[in-house]
Chain A
Amino acid sequence: MIRVLVAKPGLDGHDRGAKVIARALRDAGMEVIYTGLRQTPEMIVNAALQEDVQVIGLSILSGAHNAIVPKVMELLREKDMTDVKVIVGGIIPDEDAAALKRDGVAAVFQPGASLDAIVTFIRAAV
């Protein structure tokens, strides 16, 4: 079974998207662990290690992605966890999405992305 950590980093409390995605992945037969709100990159990477997940999904709507996501990627490299796929969802402008992908993010889902596209991507990536 595919194991996914859905995480809300930063101070943003808007968790509608994270919760909808968590439920959709669970309905698609995946094991979903939801971290809850206001997680630091350290907390997220530790949870990913503890829970032995194959995928980390980060939901960020506050514009802080350029500060937060690279930190998560750096910690994954430090801990030799680069096999964990990181996907990011939220309000991520195209140029930032491209930069995050260059940093190793597997996919960025912007507003309007379908649940189906996210499920399909994860199945293919793992």
Chain B
Amino acid sequence: MKTVDRTFTTISGVPIDPLYTAADAPRNLEGPGEFPYTRGIHRDMYRGKLWTMRQFSGFATPEETNRRYHYLLQQGQTGLSVAFDLPTLMGYDADHAMSVGEVGKCGAPISSLEDMEILFRGIPLGDVSVSMTINSPASVLWAMYLAVAEQQGVDWTRVSGTLQNDILKEYIAQKEYIFPPRPSMRLVTDTIEFGARHTPKFNPISISGYHIREAGSTAVQELAFTLRDGIEYVDWALERGLAIDDFAPRLSFFFNAHSDFFEEIAKYRAARRIWATAMRDRYGAQSERSMKLRFHAQTAGCSLTWQQPYNNVVRTAIQALAAVLGGCQSLHTNSLDEAYALPSEHAVTIALRTQQVLAHESGVAATADPLGGSYFLEKLTADSEAAANDYIRQIDDMGGMIPAIEAGFPQTEIAAASYRYQREVEAGERVIVGVNKFQSDDQPLELLQIDENAGKHQEEKLANLRRRRDAAVVARTLDALKRGAEGTENTMPLILDAVRAYATLGEICDAFRDVFGTYQEVTRL
């Protein structure tokens, strides 16, 4: 028999043994719903409630996006997830010079409360949970959302959903930051505090590893940097005077579902274990709800290939299965055409159906943690936990995540990992089907075309709004906001006042820019 002498590693480069045995697994494994929740946060897992099927979407205009939301809800989707365009993410109005060519390209453009009203027209915010992928200007978009709920007559205690609002991973990975880290952290803490007082069913933050992984990190880096970011947010909220059990239950997480099946499942299990232990031992949390790590997962955009795009349906299905076996609370499955463009309605329907097949045909949702006790999985879980804890200790020693970011530590670790991976692909050591092996000609796809007039449409609407609104009230609320930002009070009530007066996103962010300044990163190659 021939011996295979090449080394086998996970996609993150972790060596894999040819066989795992009982010696690799823990003797006693606690049950699901029991501390530290390795096997899931609920005793009955998906029997009690399936994960929320939540497809991230937004494009062109608020009007177009609203139509897509109605379509997705009719197709059986159970929650909404808003993608904002780049100008909105960067706190620019649609008519700003930096917005040229970008309006509506990567998401929905929202420059004012008026756009937010259109986005959720006919969607009852007391019944549908809504996730919003917005970071640097998150508090502004959240204020607009709460103002729409108000208009619908929905009490804030009833609105449920999630704000991404994770600024640390922007400095680390996605790079959509506006202000320097410390004032940004203050804005995040304002939302956590405001949420703890007014919106008991809303997650004010979704601490995200997704983008860290997309930027090229390993699974362990994703795990470690995300959880260390979480610790940073907790420290700031405690510093503000909040009690751990008053806000920790509403902290939520967001992880990538990448292609290495077992490594991903181990990652989610290790994440729950590390977080539960940190909440109990580092912070003395008493409430179980503070210790239970709840997470959304999205399949890996960076794994989608331009070549032979139909293969992406298969990749996505495998990744989604890993997320479900890892115990996710909600899931987004990518569409087959997303290496090209935002997804067409046809492609996004297949992606949603993939989740429905997993939920209703595969049988994997019938029992909690079906892979628990697998020698291989348990070993990977323990190793991921140990490796992530090493990173967390290193960052603790640097004085926390902000000094680590300022020193470029997570950024250079990720860049090195992504370069190593790309080199392995180049050398053919990593096979990407259809790209560096098994190539063939592709069939062209029918892609979603973003209306080139979206920008003009938004600019006109905005010009109209600027004429209609009461300029004196706008000026007064913006001035009050600026003074509030200069002090230490919670900015949320001031932002709400400005938003209700139809001050625009750009105007509100400019007020903050005046007070906080902007951030430029020092790039290390």
Contact = CB atoms under 8 A, between A and B. Distances in A.
Contacts, number: 96
A29 B183 CA distance: 41
A36 B447 contact: no
B59 to A, nearest CB: 10
Interface residues of B, number: 41
A44 B270 CA distance: 44
Interface in B291-326: 302, 305-307
Interface stretch (B95-103, B187-195, B196-204, B492-500): B95-103
A48 to B, nearest CB: 17
Contacts of B99: 11
Contacts of B302: 16
Interface stretch (B46-54, B154-162, B414-422): B414-422
A68 B339 CA distance: 20
A66 interface: yes
A22 B99 CA distance: 26
B101 A68 contact: yes
B482 interface: no
Interface residues of A, number: 33
Contacts of B105: 62-64
A19 B86 contact: no
B426 interface: yes
A11 B419 contact: no
Contacts of A23: 415, 419, 525
B351 to A, nearest CB: 18
B215 A10 contact: no
Given A15-B175, A26-B525, A93-B341, A10 B214 contact: no
Interface string B405-438: 0000000000100110010001000001001100
B102 A10 contact: yes
A61 B436 CA distance: 22
A63 B521 CA distance: 24
Contact of A112 (B98, B106, B214, B306): B306
Contacts of B367: none
A116 B425 CA distance: 11
A91 interface: yes
Contacts of B306: 110-112
Interface in A1-58: 10-16, 19-20, 22-24, 26, 32, 34, 36-38, 40
Given A112-B307, A112-B435, 6 more contacts: A10-B101, A11-B89, A12-B106, A14-B175, A20-B418, A114-B426
Closest 5 CB pairs of A and B: A67-B101, A13-B175, A111-B306, A11-B86, A64-B101
Interface of A: 10-16, 19-20, 22-24, 26, 32, 34, 36-38, 40, 62-64, 66-68, 91, 93, 110-112, 114-116
